[in-house]
Amino acid sequence: MSYKPARIVITGVGLTAPNGNTLSEFRQNLLNGVAGIEKKEIRYMGECLAGVCHYDPLKYQKKKELRVGTRAGSISIYCAHEAMIDSGINFTAFPKDRVGIYVGCTEHGNVETENEIYAISKFNYDTKYWSHYHNPRTVANNPAGEVSLSMGITGPAYTIGAACAAGNMGLIHAAQMLRLGEVDLAICGGISESIHTFGIYAGFKSQNALATHVDPLKASRPFDKARNGIVISEGGALYTLERLDDALARGAKIYGEIGGYCVNSDASDYVLPNPGRQAECVRKALVSAGLEAKDIHIVNTHATATPLGDIQECEAIRAVFGEGCPDTYINNTKSYIGHCMGAAGALELAGNLPSFDDLIVHPTINVDDLDPQCALPGLVLNHPQKVGRVDAILNNSFGMLGINSTLIVKRFVA
Amino acid sequence: MTKDETKQAVLDIIADIAPDEDISNLKGDIRLRDQMQLDSMDFLDIVMELRKRHNIEVPEADYPNLATLDSCAEYLTPKFAALGK
């Protein structure tokens, strides 16, 4: 008898993005071409560009919790509560020890460490002024732990560090834990507070990978000839995932079903992507989902608008979808919101999920002059495209140290 | 600095570290943590802010002296005076 894993479905979405604090607001802005990049003063660096989230942090937290906790924790708490409400689950009655929290993040602790060093610089670097909150703020599980505190969840709560592939990883790991029976409900996805650390800005600038543009809204421009780097953003998207039987039993609204996935590694460079491994990741995800390339109707690219990285991802996508996929459309969400780092995969998936219902593919904006090396068939540019069917979305997220993640979400069919 | 001024300095710190609390009617002779939500980390915040804002050190052995507003005034006012405040 062959093993048949439980079907896993998405039943709730909570998010904050630089251009929206609910799924409907986010989606509407993606369809209307509304980006969310602004100028922001970065310590030691001056004015930079950033995707800043403008959710109400006091919606689910007290002022003291904001003072003690981290921005990553706050974003996580906001998204987790929003997802839970959206799911319609009677959370008060739900056994809290059967809930898992799996939060993807690119990094954690840079912001808090930089803040403390800056603070003690005002006291001649005397470490007796170092905050006693530094350790709980910087432990890698902080964002998930703050959610557990906020919601009284006593099941497993931890982060998944996977660079900018982490958003997908949160969902993938949650699906695995649900299938193993470790939990009955998962809060999962990805978050980022990276705009609050100068180190990440300075690092990308030293790498010549930080975007500049006179108009912030046009700065993030994957696939355009004039692209010149990444716009760093904060954000978060957390989902509720359940086994299908549980979701059906309570009459849940179902956004989509986890179809398949793959996580692999380049093993080739600290920073430079590897198109061969990326293509392999996509192909393995298709096998995992029992689908062929032509069955995918939306490919959401990871492309961050670096001159080389976009070309390399296009090479990987061309290798898989370049021929025989007339119904496959390709888009990019970073052109609106910049690179939300650990939240990127999860947020970008959210932006495309409504396509199952409205059959519209949101475009990649800011493409005034398409780079011929990025001219993929099916690329949706600057204007939304109505399509005949959307049955499967493939979401790519790749990260430094060569970690690749591909997640496929299918239309739910009973 | 008078004892009342010392109490106000402590209240200013408490207002920042416990921003959700109503501290307008705190009793001087009742333990602070019996009148408001104040955990051990908050207490360390008071110690830290005394250090940062007023250059006052409170050794761990002396922490019980910060239990109430009245005891804070008794304990801290001479320290402020020693700093010429």
Cα–chain center distance at A405: 11
Q: Is residue A1 part of a domain?
A: no
A46-51 β-sheet, strand order: A37-42, A46-51, A232-233
Q: How many separate domains does chain B show?
A: 1
Nearest to B66 by CA among B85, B83, B54, B40: B40
The per-residue pLDDT of chain A, averaged, comes to 97
B59 in contact with A, Cβ within 8 Å? no
CA gap A159, A341 in Å, rounded: 14
Average pLDDT estimate for A162-188 = 98
Terminal-residue alpha carbon distance, chain B: 6
Residues A274, A361: one domain? yes
Domain extent, residue A113, equals 8-249
Q: In Å, how far is A67's CA from the nearest CA of chain B?
A: 8
Residue A337 has pLDDT above 70, yes or no: yes
pLDDT the model gives residue A262: 98
Q: Is residue A51 part of a domain?
A: yes
CA gap A157, A137 in Å, rounded: 15
B17, B18, B52: residue with CB nearest A129: B52
Burial A313-323 (b: 16+ CB within 10 A, else e): bbbbbbbbbee
Residues A287, A327: one domain? yes
CA gap A322, A6 in Å, rounded: 32
B44 in contact with A, Cβ within 8 Å? yes
Residues A231, A275: one domain? no
User: For residue B17, what is the enclosing H or E element?
Assistant: helix B3-17
Residues A188, A300: one domain? no
Q: Is residue A254 part of a domain?
A: no
Q: Among all residues of chain B, which has the CA nearest to that of A131?
A: B48
Residue A151 has pLDDT above 90, yes or no: yes
With CB atoms and an 8 Å threshold, state whether B19 touches A123: no
Residue range A237-293, pLDDT digits in tens:
999 999 999 999 999 999 999 999 999 999 999 999 999 999 999 999 999 999 999
Considering the entire predicted model, what is its pTM?
0.97
Average pLDDT estimate for B57-83 = 97
Long-range contacts, stretch B28-34, CB < 8 angstroms, 24+ apart: B28/B68, B28/B69, B28/B70, B28/B73, B29/B68, B29/B69, B29/B70, B30/B68, B31/B67, B31/B68, B32/B66, B32/B67, B32/B68, B32/B69, B33/B67
Distances (CA, A) of A269 to A169, A304, A406, A407, B55: 21, 18, 19, 23, 50
Domain extent, residue B74, equals 3-82
Q: Among all residues of chain A, which has the CA nearest to that of B52?
A: A129
CB-based burial label for A63 (10 Å; 0-12, 13-18, 19+): middle
pLDDT the model gives residue A4: 84
Residues A117, A238: one domain? yes
Residues A62, A191: one domain? yes
Torsion of CA B24, B29, B30, B31, to 10 degrees: 100
Q: Is residue A3 part of a domain?
A: no
With CB atoms and an 8 Å threshold, state whether A64 touches B52: no
Residues A34, A145: one domain? yes
pLDDT the model gives residue A3: 76
Catalytic (active-site) positions of A: 164, 302, 339
Residues A194, A272: one domain? no
With CB atoms and an 8 Å threshold, state whether B20 touches A132: no
Chain A residues touching residue B48 (CB < 8 angstroms): 129, 131-132
Q: How many separate domains does chain A show?
A: 2
User: For residue B3, what is the enclosing H or E element?
Assistant: helix B3-17
Q: Is residue A52 part of a domain?
A: yes
Residues A293, A168: one domain? no
Q: Is residue A2 part of a domain?
A: no
A62 in contact with B, Cβ within 8 Å? yes
CA gap A131, B66 in Å, rounded: 19
pLDDT the model gives residue A81: 98
CB B17 within 8 A of CB B43: no
Residues A180, A91: one domain? yes
- Candidates B52, B54, B56, B57: best to mutate against A (most CBs of A within 10 A) is B52
Residue A301 has pLDDT above 80, yes or no: yes
Residue B19 has pLDDT above 80, yes or no: yes
pLDDT the model gives residue A1: 58
Nearest to A107 by CA among A232, A229, A192: A192
Say which CATH number the domain at B9 has.
1.10.1200.10
CA gap B32, B6 in Å, rounded: 15
Residue range A63-91, pLDDT digits in tens:
999 999 999 999 999 999 999 999 999 99
Residues A145, A265: one domain? no
Say which CATH number the domain at A44 has.
3.40.47.10
